């Protein structure tokens, strides 16, 4: 699909007003686990990684890349005022429990994040942070005192899935401990405190990770949640944990700085549901009601495209029915009263199509952004993309596979005068 814009029809590169934030395009850096924060401490490499993906601008007259363009482009291809989403764990005792994921629960980590956030802001971008708790998708080796992971259930993840161990091997997920009622309230408060830390650090907002089989999703999905108390059984009860977290954080930092991510149709880590559409609509109904009660919109709702599961562990895979996927996503988009972001297996054509057809306001990209720090520019002018190297996704090297992917301006045979 060529990038075209008729009167009143937005494209992937059109400006967008997301609440108080004015974005100059609709391409978002998705939150991704990269395992570059040794012992949970953000390092300078993280600052380089995020600032590479928040470059001020790349002007056509300076970069001499007209030959890449396969359609009309504007005189200025900009990545200014873009949205980036980082990820980290909310608490040292109950946090992600995944190797080398950055935290934001002590003063040293907060100070380290301040430098990263300031660097991103200096480049002209907005940065949210994703609060992430994996729940049962962990291992006792990552728990304080070798304790078992927590969840909504005591059922373990099947042997279909493996967890990355400290030595680089892959292990079997252990049986988790179902949270007691009193413990659930403690977890909610940990999320609230982490959100306050994030805003203190300078982040523009936070995204609550309620997707992909992690802790909140373990409460939402009836294929996992087997509770018989006030947090399980009916759709309303399965949504209660998520909504308590959203309400607590919105009260602490303001609704317009809070976003939510869900994946009702994704089976990652055995996170299945008997009726994904009904689950998605139940969450959206409650988010819409909360927005009315608060008199303020949330920053956005982030929904993972159903095709994501086909790419979960391989380079490609068979998708579900395109008609079914489109119906689910369009129904959720049209029901949610606010900014709708989608992600999952998007390339240039699919991203353009999603915005033009009104299926998304914003589109987040993951793996393509890993290997293309100037992805917005490349997508805009339809330039070739660097191939990502999957084996470097979760290593601890601060350069290889993290900050060493070349900009278009650095590629051999391309003459570019950078103005950054």
Residue 130 in 3-state DSSP? strand
Q: How many Cβ atoms sit within 10 Å of the Cβ of residue 182?
A: 7
Segment (H or E) for 178: strand 177-178
* C-alpha distances in Å from residue 216, one per residue of 90, 107, 260, 282, 341: 13, 26, 11, 15, 19
Residue 203 corresponds to which tokens in the numbers above? 């982040």
User: CB–CB of 334/290 below 8 Å?
Assistant: no
Q: Which residues pair with 340 in a beta bridge?
A: 301
Q: Where are the alpha helices (DSSP H) in 157-224?
A: 181-201, 215-220
Residues annotated as catalytic (active site), given as ranges: 214
What's the gap between Cα 335 and its chain centre?
Answer: 21
Q: Are 191 and 210 in contact (CB under 8 A)?
A: no
Of 339, 341, 399, residue with least CA distance to 373: 399
Q: Which is nearest to 386 in space by CA: 365, 364, 408?
A: 408
Which residues, in sequence order, are CB contacts of 154 under 8 Å at separation 6+? 175, 176, 177, 178
Rounded Cα–Cα distance for residues 133 and 128 (Å): 16
Q: Would you say 126 and 81 are in contact if contact means Cβ atoms under 8 Å apart?
A: yes
Element (DSSP H or E) covering residue 164: strand 163-164
Q: Look up residue 240 and give its two tokens.
A: 């209660």
């Amino acid at each position: 699909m060529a990038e075209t814009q008729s009167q009143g029809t937005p494209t992937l590169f059109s400006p967008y007003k997301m609440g108080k934030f004015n974005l100059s395009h609709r391409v978002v850096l998705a939150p991704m686990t990269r395992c570059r924060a040794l012992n949970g401490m953000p390092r300078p490499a993280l600052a380089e990684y995020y600032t590479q993906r928040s470059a001020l601008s790349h002007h056509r007259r300076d970069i001499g890349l007209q030959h890449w363009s396969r359609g009309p482009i504007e005189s200025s291809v900009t990545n200014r005022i873009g949205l980036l989403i980082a990820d980290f764990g909310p608490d040292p005792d109950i946090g992600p429990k995944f190797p080398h994921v950055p935290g934001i629960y002590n003063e040293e980590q907060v100070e380290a994040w301040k430098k990263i956030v300031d660097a991103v802001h200096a480049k002209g971008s907005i940065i949210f942070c994703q609060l992430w708790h994996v729940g049962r998708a962990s291992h006792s080796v990552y728990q304080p005192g070798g304790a078992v992971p927590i969840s909504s259930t005591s059922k373990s993840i099947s042997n279909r899935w493996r967890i990355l161990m400290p030595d680089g091997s892959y292990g079997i997920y252990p049986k988790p401990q179902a949270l007691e009622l009193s413990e659930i309230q403690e977890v909610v408060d940990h999320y609230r405190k982490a959100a306050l830390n994030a805003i203190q650090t300078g982040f523009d907002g936070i995204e609550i990770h309620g997707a992909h089989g992690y802790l909140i999703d373990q409460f939402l999905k009836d294929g996992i949640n087997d509770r018989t108390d006030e947090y399980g059984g009916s759709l309303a009860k399965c949504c209660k944990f998520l909504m308590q977290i959203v309400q607590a954080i919105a009260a602490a930092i303001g609704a317009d700085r809070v976003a939510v991510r869900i994946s009702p149709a994704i089976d990652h880590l055995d996170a299945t549901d008997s009726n994904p559409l009904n689950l998605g609509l139940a969450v959206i109904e409650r988010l819409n009601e909360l927005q009315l009660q608060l008199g303020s919109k949330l920053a956005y709702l982030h929904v993972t495209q159903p095709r994501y599961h086909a790419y979960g562990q391989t380079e490609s895979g068979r998708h579900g029915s395109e008609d079914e996927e489109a119906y689910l996503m369009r129904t959720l988009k049209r029901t949610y009263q606010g900014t709708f972001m989608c992600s999952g297996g998007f390339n240039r054509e699919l991203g353009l199509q999603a915005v033009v057809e009104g299926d998304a306001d914003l589109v987040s990209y993951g793996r393509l952004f890993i290997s293309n720090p100037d992805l917005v520019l490349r997508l805009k002018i339809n330039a070739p993309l660097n191939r990502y190297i999957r084996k470097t996704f979760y290593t601890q090297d601060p350069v290889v596979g993290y900050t060493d992917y070349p900009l278009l301006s650095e590629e051999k045979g391309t003459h570019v005068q950078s103005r950054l």
